[in-house]
Amino acid sequence: MATDAPTPAGREPAPGTVRRGRRLVGRLVVGAFVVAVCVAIALALRDQDWSTLGQLTRPRTVPALAAALAVTSGGLLCAARAWLLTISATGAPVPVTAGVRMFFVGFLGKFLPGRVWGLLALLKLGERAGVSHSRMAGIYLVNVVVVLLSGGAVGLLVAPALLGAHALWLFPALGALLGLLLVRPALVDRVVAVAARLARRPQPARLARPEHLRRSIGWQTASWVLFGVHVWLVATLLGAAPVEALPVALGAFAIASVAGTLALFVPDGVGVRDVLLIAALTVVLPLPAAVTTAIASRVLCTLAEVLTAGAALLVTALRDRRAARAAATSTDTSAERSPAPASF
């Protein structure tokens, strides 16, 4: 009896074809993201007032500017370390190279309007590493809470300069807040649970390693301090008193950056961060010098972020390639050493 063969039009695509199609779509999405980030960074650098930085680059100021660029890169690396510890605190099995790639790819997404693009990139990279979207979103939320809480704590340093001597009690409050977060990192877990409830998102898994979150908070606080140091270096070049300007620079940059982060639809907090930074710096600098410091800070931060992220992503790519070659070589060696199957 003859059976009706399925027509070509009714055949389902082969699994290999589906995989190739998904891989192609994934590559197109990644390529579009990379192009968009590069265009956004180019526009950000083009729109900067390079003449301001040129006025600062004199032979005697070059070492200070180089130090400012270096400490900004150091702050970014501290933030990357905090991110890796946050991943470890949640118990997610993410390799170090994958975690570093997640951080810097997601970080570069801040140059695009809206924060959703960096999160989407993290979800995609997490999927490649075997982490579900819900768990990756939970890690992202924990990291945001750590960044905002530590940044707000460091931001209190500027309060006495803005509010007067009666605000000196905020210094003990700063120490108490950071101490409480370090002693009881589970408080971050509770804040994340409340944030997820308000956002109507699934509750993330509870922390598996609270001690790693404690270290993450420490590294993130160190990153805020280093970021503020670059502002202090530029401000002192423009005549600010070093001792008086130090807490102002540290606190002003932290609180201005936190405000810029909360401005979700503004790429890299442009405008929001700069206005707040200028307003705080007028305590220790004349307004024109405060404006110059804010512009120089924006240029130095953008350069440091691009250079550091590019170097980190290149190193992770080279390490992954080296590991893949080593695995392939090990497989070939094992195949050569294994005995040939017997023939009967």
pLDDT tens string, the chain, 344 residues long: the values are 444 555 455 555 555 565 565 555 555 655 666 666 666 666 666 666 666 666 676 778 888 889 999 999 999 999 999 999 999 888 788 888 989 999 998 888 777 776 677 778 888 888 888 888 878 888 888 888 889 888 988 988 888 887 776 666 766 776 777 777 777 776 776 777 776 777 666 666 666 677 888 899 899 999 999 999 999 999 999 989 999 999 999 999 999 999 888 877 776 667 788 889 999 999 999 998 998 899 889 888 888 988 999 899 899 989 888 887 877 776 656 555 555 444 32
Helix (H, G, I), strand (E, B) or coil at 204: coil
CB burial readout 308-328, b (16+ within 10 A) else e: bbeebbeebeeeeeeeeeeee
For residue range 171-200, list pLDDT tens digits in order.
677 677 777 777 777 677 677 777 677 766
d(CA 212, CA 192): 16
Q: What is the pLDDT of residues 271-319, one digit of tens each?
A: 788 889 999 999 999 998 998 899 889 888 888 988 999 899 899 989 8
220, 75 in Cβ contact below 8 A? Answer: no
Mean pLDDT of the chain: 78
Rounded to the nearest 5°, which phi and psi values hold at 207? -65, 135
Amino acid identity of residue 247, one-letter, is P
Between CA 43 and CA 34 the distance in angstroms is 14
Question: How far is it, in rounded angstroms, from Cα 220 to Cα 144?
Answer: 11
